Amino acid sequence: MKFSLRLGVLVSSFFSSLFWSLNLLLFLYTLLVYYLLYEVPIGHWVGGIFMISLPIAWAFNVFFILFWLLVRPWRAVLPVVTMLIGMPFWRRTFTYSQPDTNPEKRTTFQVMSYNVMGFNKYDVVDTQRPDDANAMIDWVLKEPSDVKCFQEFYNNDRSVVFKTIRRLESAGYPYYAVLHPPTREGMEGEDGNFIGVALFSRHPIVKRGEEVFDNFNGLVWADVKVKADTIRVISLHLQSMGIRVGGMLEERETNRVKRKTQGVLRQLRQGLTLRRNQIDRVEEYYRNSPHPVIICGDFNDTPYSFSYGKLRRILRNAFEDAGRGFGFSYNKAPGFLRIDNQFYNARFLEPLNYVTYREVKYSDHYPIMAQYAIKPREISRDRRPRTHVEFDF
Whether residue 336 has pLDDT greater than 60 = yes
Query: Looking at residue 340, what DSSP letter applies?
Result: E
Residue-wise pLDDT for 40-61, tens only, equals 777 677 888 899 999 999 999 9
Domain boundaries, the chain: 2-85, 97-374
Whether residue 10 has pLDDT greater than 70 = no
> Quick one: pLDDT at residue 105?
87
- Contact yes or no for 112/147 (Cβ under 8 A): yes
Residue-wise pLDDT for 91-136, tens only, equals 999 999 999 888 788 999 999 999 999 998 776 554 556 777 899 9
Instruction: State the average pLDDT for the chain.
Output: 86
The angle at the Cα of 273, spanning 264 to 238, to the nearest 5 degrees, equals 85
Residue-wise pLDDT for 194-203, tens only, equals 889 999 999 9
How far apart CA 88 and CA 65 sit, in angstroms, is 20
Ranges 135-139, 242-246, 325-329: which has the least confidence: 242-246
Query: Could you give the percent of the chain with pLDDT greater than 70?
Result: 81
> Quick one: pLDDT at residue 329?
97
Point out which residues pair with 297 in neighbouring strands.
Answer: 236, 341
- Contact yes or no for 364/240 (Cβ under 8 A): no
> Quick one: pLDDT at residue 379?
45
133-154 in b/e form (b: 16+ CB < 10 A) is bbebbeebeebebbbbbbbbbb
How far apart CA 78 and CA 97 sit, in angstroms, is 31
Mean pLDDT of 334-350: 95
Q: State residue 339 phi and psi, 5-degree precision.
A: -120, 0
Whether residue 259 has pLDDT greater than 50 = yes
How far apart CA 123 and CA 118 sit, in angstroms, is 10
Mean pLDDT of 211-239: 94
Mean pLDDT of 297-319: 95
> Quick one: pLDDT at residue 312?
93
In one letter, which amino acid is 122?
Y
256-269 in b/e form (b: 16+ CB < 10 A) is eeeebeeebeeebe
Mean pLDDT of 178-206: 75
Q: Which helix (H) or strand (E) holds 222?
A: strand 217-226
**Burial status of residue 347 (CB atoms within 10 A of its CB: 0-12, 13-18, 19 or more):** middle
> Whole-prediction pTM value?
0.86
Residue-wise pLDDT for 58-80, tens only, equals 999 999 999 999 999 999 999 99
> Quick one: pLDDT at residue 155?
93
Pick from 384, 280, 294, 386: which is nearest to 343 by CA? 294
Whether residue 386 has pLDDT greater than 60 = no
> Quick one: pLDDT at residue 160?
86
- Report the CATH fold assignment for 97-374: Deoxyribonuclease I; Chain A (3.60.10)
State the distance between the two ends of the chain, measured CA to CA, in whole angstroms.
58
> Quick one: pLDDT at residue 15?
79
How far apart CA 47 and CA 300 sit, in angstroms, is 17
Helix (H, G, I), strand (E, B) or coil at 124: helix
Q: Which residues contact 204 (CB under 8 A, 6 or more apart)?
A: 175, 224, 225
Ranges 247-256, 318-327, 358-367: which has the least confidence: 247-256
